[in-house]
Amino acid sequence: MADDEHKKYYATLSEEERMLLLLRDELYSGSWDKMEEDLRNRLKGRPYIFKLVNRIEEDLKRIEKLRSYEQKHKINLQDYKAPEP
């Protein structure tokens, strides 16, 4: 029953949120901490492109949302991704 709940939750995620899950697993060995640290470090760098900074700030908010859900339910949301045809 919980699996169905998590699958439904995953289905409601935006494309950006799903991409963050994929990038976390592919580039940061499944670590939100490493991903968040990297994004925050990029924010501090100079010079930067304003548009990129806005995207990073939005991604950091998305990460917090996804991390919170995963911690609350002790799951990895990528496990609930629908199989590709």
Mean pLDDT of 47-59: 69
Q: Looking at the domain assignment, is residue 85 inside a domain?
A: no
Q: Looking at the domain assignment, is residue 25 inside a domain?
A: yes
Q: Is the pTM of this model over 0.85?
A: no
pLDDT at site 12: 94
Q: Looking at the domain assignment, is residue 27 inside a domain?
A: yes
Mean pLDDT of 14-27: 91
* CB burial of residue 25 (10 Å; 0-12, 13-18, 19+): middle
pLDDT at site 51: 61
Q: Looking at the domain assignment, is residue 59 inside a domain?
A: yes
pLDDT at site 82: 77
Q: Which residue has the higher pLDDT, 39 or 68?
A: 68
Count of domains observed in the chain: 1
* Residue ranges making up the domain that contains 36: 2-80
For 51, the enclosing helix (H) or strand (E) is helix 50-73
Q: Looking at the domain assignment, is residue 28 inside a domain?
A: yes
pLDDT at site 39: 84
Q: Looking at the domain assignment, is residue 58 inside a domain?
A: yes
